[in-house]
Structure 1
Amino acid sequence: MQRVTNCILTNNETNEVLTLQKPRRGWWVAPGGKMELGETIRESVKREYWEETGYFIKDPNLRGIFTIIIEEDGKIINEWMMFTFHTSEYQGDLLEESPEGKLAWQPILKVMELPMAPGDYYIFDHVLNGDGMMYGNFTYTKDFKLLSYRLDVNGKITLENRTKK
């Protein structure tokens, strides 16, 4: 099982969030990436964020833990864990060009209008507008059509859905 970390970085002065547009689908994401062997999730998110953005994030707070499942013909063909952090403290200089895609500060009020993986809308909404921890499970097809999701915020199942294939 692959483990990945990402961080939603907000700028409280400008009311913006830093996003990364991945070239493959054109979807916007929170910068992050794969954990290395022996790394803690906190070490991973700091390293990955710096590698992708040029920013050193300070005091990232874990806001969500998610299982991402890829299904084909009702069978799991891939699965990974994603640990999502939030911070508004950073220093450094934004890379002119990220090795992972296009970086852009987006107005917080416009983030939910950006093209992204269906489950990411729930994650961004929770981190930007909610409190506490969110635990979740998102099941997708190989083409990233959302099949089902289950979200637990602070011990309460808040959303559960099984979509049609």
Structure 2
Amino acid sequence: MQRVTNCVFFKDGKVLMLRKPSRGFWALPGGKMEPKETVKEAVVREYLEETGIRIKDPVLKSISTFLVDEGNGVHEWMMFTFLAKDGEGQTKETTDEGILQWQPVQEIGNLPMAEGDRFIIRHALNGNEIMYNSFHYSSDYRLLSYRLDPELA
């Protein structure tokens, strides 16, 4: 099972988002964990690599399991989402992963993205505890079902 980390970096009412070229979806910067890394080490390293920003004091907000139907079965991975409100460095404009752009919080709900990411971002910004999620997608990334613990109000 693949393990992935990402981060909601919140600053001045905006979140730094990444537009991926494959589907045109917006996502949180992050990436795959390396062997022997802790999830916190991975999110700091991946965020720096993708954005040019070294986040400070990231707080774990969500642990998610993703299932994606594929022609030969189901692909499964886990994602650990953090929230950071402080960081240093110069934001890159583009990366190998896509285009970076600061998005106003009130606009995030209107951006094209995987539907589960909306729950994750909302909780990271507003929730007080760790949320445990499961998202099941079709091969074309249509959300088939999900579970959130705790449920969002």
TM-score, normalised via structure 2 length: 0.94
Cα deviations by residue, 1:84-122 (Å, 9 ceiling, x for unpaired): 000111000111321210000011111111110011111
Q: Which runs of 4+ in 1 moved over 2 A?
A: none
Q: Which position in structure 2 is the counterpart of 1:82?
A: 79
The counterpart of 2:119, out of the listed 118, 122, 131, is: 122
Q: In 2, distance between residues paired with 1:142 and 1:96?
A: 30
Listed as ranges, the gaps of 5+ residues in structure 2 are none
Give how far 1:125 is off: 1.1
Task: Please list, as runs of the form range in 1=range in 2, the aligned pairs for 1:27-42 lying within 5 A after superposition.
Answer: 27-42=25-40
Structure 1 CA distance, aligned partners of 2:131 and 2:53? Answer: 25
Deviation at 1:130, TM superposition (A): 2.2
Q: How does 1:67-146 map to 2 (within 5 A)?
A: 67-72=65-70, 76-146=73-143
Q: Which structure is larger by alpha-carbon Rg, 1 or 2?
A: 1
TM-score (norm 1): 0.88
2:57 corresponds to: 59
* Deviation readout 1:127-163 (Å, 9 max, x if unpaired): 122221100000011111111100002xxxx27xxxx
Are 1:64 and 1:85, in contact at CA under 8 Å, matched by a contact in 2? yes
Output the CA distance in 2 between the equivalents of 1:76 and 1:137.
17
Q: What is the percent sequence identity of the aligned residues?
A: 52
Tell me the SS of whatever aligns to 2:95: coil
Q: Say if 1:66 and 1:136, in contact at 8 Å, map to a contact too.
A: yes
Deviations 1:32-80 (A, max 9, x none): 000011111001000000000000000000000000011258x852100
Q: What does 1:153-164 align with in structure 2 at a 5 Å threshold?
A: 153=150, 158=151
Q: How many residue pairs align between the two structures?
A: 152
Higher relative contact order, structure no. (Cα contacts within 8 Å, ≥ 6 residues apart): 2
Cα distance between partner residues in 2 of 1:109 and 1:129: 13
